[in-house]
Amino acid sequence: MSLEKYLDVKPEIAEALAAGKPVVGLESTILSHGMPYPQNMEFAAKVEEIVRAAGAIPATTAIIGGKLKVGLTNDELMMMCNPKDIGKVSRRDVAVYLATGKTGATTVATTMMICAMAGIRVFATGGIGGVHRRGESTMDISADLQELANTPVCVVCAGAKSLLDLGRTLEYLETFGVPVLGYKTDEFPAFYCTTSGYKLDYRCESAEEIARIMYTKWDLGLKGGAVVGNPIPEEYALDYDEMDKVICAAIEEADEKGVRGKAITPFLLARIKDMTEGVSFASNLQLAYNNARLASEVAVELSKLG
């Protein structure tokens, strides 16, 4: 199968990958569906600046004009930050968007797919998707989890979004053999919060240690990726119990309004932002910056291992 007709890799990124230099994948859903304009433009510029400062090359992904984009021009970035008819694209949607020429923002699952196709092994995001609360009856489970089980990309995140069922999310990852590594923590981070009450089996003290684990996994031929739980910096962390009350209220409102499927996470994040008077949004920015920094360090260390 030739990917050339579908994959459009920015020259700077293609050259870096060919030379074995560190590259960090970045999603575009956070820009198109997670933040308002112009804060999303400022965020995009800041994240790329952080990645470069740490010695890696940023690669924001999207689907534009029938192509899987790896790295965006300024005009393309502006397009993704002014979302008019820009869909939220997961694995099931990719072929439809490519075949019809629609423009789409990439989720965690789709960004992992595109990174793997391009040869990028490390990806930074805010928080992964997972099993939604009441998922045992609704079967609302993010495609991110199956992608992690099958696609060889290391995902650095602040855990799973705290609006999810974190216990069942971790059980799902364990069932499908996905390593969950805590960066300088013994607990799975809960997005806005440093702790969740769920203990992890593996704690890593450095980016170099994470890189060695990932190198060993793939050198053995084991499929899939890994989750690196990187807690939000303490000074930006929110209280777990208080946030849980806010999240429960937002979920109840979503139920009343019949919000489901792809729309649920953007709806909940927006309502949580309003209900916390913007405090959660500020925390969201900081955890994403923190993840970009660590992902870049891991990519640098991984590149040293070949």
227 contacts 157 by C-beta, under 8 angstroms: yes
Query: What residues does 117 pair with on adjacent strands?
Result: none
In this predicted structure, the answer to whether residue 112 has a pLDDT above a threshold of 70 is yes
Token duo for residue 282: 């500020």
Rounded percentage of the chain residues whose pLDDT exceeds 90? 73
Token duo for residue 142: 């993010």
Q: What residues contact residue 242 under an 8 Å CB cut-off, 6+ apart?
A: none
80 contacts 41 by C-beta, under 8 angstroms: no
Q: Which CATH number applies to 7-304: 3.40.30.10, 1.10.10.10, 3.40.1790.10, 2.40.37.10?
A: 3.40.1790.10
Residue whose token pair is 């005009």? 75
Per-residue pLDDT band at 6 (split at 50, 70, 90)? very high
pLDDT at 277: 63
> How many CA atoms, within 13 angstroms, populate the side-chain half-sphere of residue 210?
30
In this predicted structure, the answer to whether residue 271 has a pLDDT above a threshold of 70 is yes
pLDDT at 125: 97
Residue 161 annotated among the catalytic residues of the structure: yes
Which range is least confidently modeled, 22-31, 45-54, 178-187, 230-239? Answer: 230-239
Phi, psi of 174 (to 5 degrees): -65, -45
Q: What is the pLDDT of residues 172-202, one digit of tens each?
A: 999 999 999 999 999 999 998 998 999 999 9
Residue whose token pair is 């960066």? 183
Furthest-apart CA pair in the chain: how many Å? 53
Please give the Cα distance from 302 to 22 (Å, whole number). Answer: 8
Token duo for residue 20: 């074995």
Which DSSP symbol is given to 54? Answer: T
Q: Residue 237 to residues 117, 167, 195, 214: CA-CA distances in angstroms?
A: 35, 20, 9, 28
pLDDT at 163: 78
For the chain, the structural domain boundaries read: 7-304
Give the 3-state secondary structure of residue 282: helix
Token duo for residue 205: 């003290």
More reliable by pLDDT, 211 or 245: 211
In this predicted structure, the answer to whether residue 1 has a pLDDT above a threshold of 60 is no
| Cis peptide upstream of residue 189 (ω within 30 degrees of 0) | no
Token duo for residue 57: 């090359």
143 contacts 92 by C-beta, under 8 angstroms: yes
First to last CA, the chain: 25
Q: Which of 10, 88, 161, 273 is catalytic?
A: 161
Phi, psi of 230 (to 5 degrees): -115, 105
Give burial (CB, 10 Å; 0-12/13-18/19+) of 275: middle
Amino acid at 96: V
Residue 292 has a CB neighbour count (10 Å cut-off) of 27
